[in-house]
Structure 1
C-alpha cells in the first residue's frame, strides 16, 4: 500500500524529488530497512547521508536528504530538503493532517511504553490502529511514528518522552491528540529540573497539544496531581482522573497473584473487573489509565477489557519467564523478571513489590528454600539527592522481604552498605563483573529480578540467566 508518493512527500516538505517514486514505509536505519521504505538520512552519532548508498542497494524507494550524497547514481531517487529532521517533522505533520481517525498521546515518568502497548491491544480489536514502535518517543521518534501512519488509520497511539524542559509540548502539538494521558510523575531526570513539581509541569504540557474539546487523563494518586488538573483546566479540556483517589476511574483493589493481577475498579457508578497476565500494581494502574483513554476516545471499554488479557510486558519492562535449568529434570526451574530497560525510584519500588510477592519453590535445588533475589543497578539522572535515593531503597518493606540483594554500580554501593548482613549479596562495579558468578549465585526454585538504568547494562545479566536454561519440555529445538 502506498504511504507516500514523491509528489506528496515533496508537497509536505517543500523539498525537491529527483524522480517519481512510491514509498510504502519510512526508515531511519539501514539495518531494519525494508524494500520500499523512504530512508531518512538523519544525523546522530554518524551522518545518515553516509548510509544512503546502502539504503538504495537494499531497495529503499528513495532517500530524504539535505544534499546529494557522494557515491550515489545521478538518477538516484532522492527527496532533497533544507534540513532532514525538519523534513521528517513536516512529513509527520502532513500525515497527521490527512488522518481522519482518533489519536491518543501518552507520557509519564514511568509506564509510558507499557501503557502505549496496552492501548494498542485494546484498540486494534476495534479498528485499524497505529502506534509508536518500541520507545520511539523523542524529537525524531514522534515525527517518525506520525510519518509512518497509514492514511486509513482509525486509532493512533503516540508515546511522548522527555529529558529536558520544553520537549513535550512541541511534540504534543505535532501529534494533535484527542486525548492525552499522564501515567505518573516521579523522580526521573531530576538533573534537568529543580524538583518533582518541575517534572509535573513538563509532563502536563502534553495537554497543550490536545485538540479543542478533547480530554486530559491524569493519575489522581500522585502528589503533583493538582498541577496536572490545573493544566487540564487551563487548556479547557475534559478532566478525567484515575487511581485510588480517582473520581472517574477508581481503583478499588489490585490482587497480585503468581502470574496475574486481578483488578477491581469502578467506572463512575459501574463496577469494572479486569485481569492482567503479569503481576504488578503499577500494571493495574497503567491499565486503568489506558481504559480511561479508551472511554475518552469513545471506543468500547468492554472490548478493551477483553483485549487487555492478551497484553504482556514489553521486553525489559517486567517481562517474566521461566528458565529450565536441567534438560531432563524439567522441574528444575527458576523464574526471571526482566525489568532491565530503565529505573527510577518509583519504578524500582514497583518492581521490588512484584518480586516480594512472587512465590518461590522449595526443595528442588541445592538450596532447600527458594529465594527472592534482586540484581539492582544504578538509577541515573537523579540529581543531587542520588546517593540518598539509592540508600533509601533499604527502607522499602518490599525490599526488606527479599532474601538476597546484589548491587551493581557506584551509586548502588550506597544501598549495599546499608543492607543487613543476612540480605547483602555482592557488589559489582559493572554488570560484566557479575556474569562469571551467576551460576553459583542462583538455584532452582529462585525468583530473580534484574533492574537498573539502561546504561548499567542489566540486560547482560538477563541474557546470561537465559543462557543458563534449556528449551521448555514441550518445545523442540529446530
Structure 2
C-alpha cells in the first residue's frame, strides 16, 4: 500500500498541460495495459501497434484506474465514464507526448541517483542485478521487464516515486538515434554499456555502427557524470570516444583487461554460482554470485563499477550479489520430476543472438548431469541478423561441439541450417515452430538430463518451457503457473 500518492491532480495538470474532468482517485501507479492495470494506476491511452488505447478507457476505469489520460479531441467520448485527464497536442499520439512530459516531471522532481544501462547483450540482467544490489541500500526504482523503448522509458519514469534514492533504467534500440531521446529524458548520473555484439545487425552496416548507436547513451549524462565501459570489448576505443565527447566527468572500465579499473583477477565457475576475485579501483574484493555463467560474472564487474561510481557500499553490494537469482527467461532453473528421477531445465527463452547463445551453451556445459543424463540444447531462430543470418546459425555448430552438447532440437527455418551442420549423433528434432517441438522433447527427456531452451522472442520458445513445467515441474506452484500460462 502506497501512503503517499505518486501524482497529485495539480502536478499532473502542470506536467501535461491537460485538464482533469471528474475527481480522480488516488494515483499510485501508471499503466498502458488494462491486462496488468492495478487499482489506482493512471492509465495512458496511447496508440499501440494494432489498437488505440482509447478503446480500453472504459475497461481501465471500471478496473479502478485512478484516472485515464486521453487526447483532448476524444475527451467528450468518455463523459460520465469516470475521471479523465484531457491533454492537448497536435501530434499523432498526444497521450504518448503527455506520458513523456510526466516522465520528464518525474525526473525533474527526484533527488535519486540515476543509472542508465544499455548493451547488445546482458542489459536486462545487469539492470536487474543493479536493482537487487541497490535496493538493499535504499529505495530503488527500476524498469519492469524490458521496458526500454520509446514508451517503456517514459512509463518507467512516470512510475518513479519522488522519494526514490536510486533509479535504474534500461535503454534499448533497434536503429541508430533511438537512444538519443531516451537518454536525454533519463539524464543519468551513471551510464553503462555492457558489450557490443552483432545484435540487430540487419539495421547496421557494421559492429562499429552498433557501437556508435550504443554510445549515444553517454550523450544524456549529467555534467560530471560517469561512463562505465567494458574494457575487453574490441569496440572499447569507439565507446571511449563517445564518452569523452560527452559531459562525463570520468570513465570507469571493467573486465579482465590488465588496465581495467574494475578487474577480474580470477573467476571460478560452478554449476550454480560463480566466485569472482576482483580489484575495484585498486580495492581487493571477493564475492560470490548467485547466478551462474561467465557472461553474468563479467557483467557483475560492471555492476560493481556502478556501485563505486554512485558512492554506494561495495561490501554490502558484494553480499547482495550472493543472493542474486536469474529472472524468468534469462537463466531461471527448474527441477523437473521425470519418472523415478530428476532433470534440470534452464529457461533462456527470453531472447537470442549469437553471443548470448554461446554464453548459454557454455553455462549448459557446466551443469552436472546424472549417470545417463545428456546436455540438450533447444534453440529457436535468431532474428535481425541480416544477410549473414544463415552463417551465424551454422557457426553455432562449433560451440555446440566445444561444449559437449549431446543433443540439439531446433525451431525455425534459420535454425534448420544449424541442424543440418550437426553430426547425425547430435541431432534431435528440427521443426518449423516451437510449438511443434514440445511433444518430441517431452518424449525424449529422461532422468539426469539438463535441457536449455533459447530463441528470439517472436519464435515463442517460452511455450516449450511452459509445456515442460506443466508436465514435469517438481514445484507444484511452478506447475500450476505453467498450466495457467499454457496456450
Q: Report the TM-score, using the length of structure 1 for normalisation.
A: 0.94
- Alpha-carbon distance, 1:389 to partner: 0.6
CA distance in 1, matches of 2:414, 2:217: 32
Q: What is the correspondence of 1:346-357 to structure 2 with a 5 Å cutoff?
A: 346-357=355-366
2:243 matches 1:232: yes
Match of 1:423 in 2: 426
2:309 counterpart of 1:278: no
* 2:256 paired with 1:244: yes
C-alpha change, 1:54 and 1:477, in structure 2 (3 Å) is: closer
Q: 2:38 matched to 1:52?
A: no
Following superposition, the deviation at residue 342 of structure 1 comes to: 0.4
Question: Match for 2:343 among 325, 331, 334?
Answer: 334
2:368 alignment partner in structure 1:
359
Q: Tell me the SS of whatever aligns to 1:336.
A: strand
1:215 corresponds to: 226
Which residue is 1:79 aligned to? 85
CA shift digits 1:354-385 (9 cap, x unpaired): 011211111xxxxxx21000011110000110
**Equivalent of 1:130, from 130, 137, 141?**
141
Once the two structures are TM-superposed, the CA of residue 394 in structure 1 deviates from its matched residue by 1.2
| Structure 1 gaps, min length 5 | 363-368
| 8 Å contact kept, 1:53–1:71 | no
CA shift, 1:201, in A, is 0.4
Aligned 8 A contact 2:265 2:279 in 1: yes
Q: State yes or no: 1:36 paired with 2:47.
A: no
Q: 2-side partners of 1:255 and 1:165: how far apart?
A: 37
Map 1:90-129 onto structure 2 (within 5 A). 90-129=101-140
Q: Tell me how far apart the structure 2 counterparts of residues 69 and 170 of structure 1 sit (CA, whole Å).
A: 29
So what's the TM-score if we normalise by structure 2?
0.93
Q: How many residues in Structure 1 have an aligned counterpart in Structure 2?
A: 468
Partner of 2:313: 300
Match of 1:434 in 2: 437
1:383 counterpart = 2:373 = no
Gap change, CA 1:255 and 1:8, over 3 Å in 2: same
Conserved? CA contact 1:394–1:400, under 8 Å: no
Distance 2:120 2:163 in 1: 31
On the 8 A contact 2:469/2:478 being kept in 1, the answer is no
SS class of match (1:204): helix
Q: 8 Å contact 1:179–1:296 — kept in the other structure? A: yes
Counterpart in 2 of 1:366?
none
Cα separation, partners in 2 of 1:441 and 1:476, compared to 1, 3 Å: closer
TM-superposed CA distance for 1:224, in Å, is: 0.6
What is the rounded CA distance, in whole Å, between the counterparts of 1:398 and 1:467 in structure 2?
31
Distance 2:63 2:318 in 1: 42
Corresponding residue for 1:160? 171
Change (3 A) 1:476 1:451: closer
Contact 2:349 2:453 in 1 (8 A): yes
Q: Secondary structure, in 3 states, of the residue corresponding to 1:299?
A: coil
CA RMSD of aligned residues (A): 1.9
* Alignment partners' CA distance in 2, 1:388 and 1:445: 33
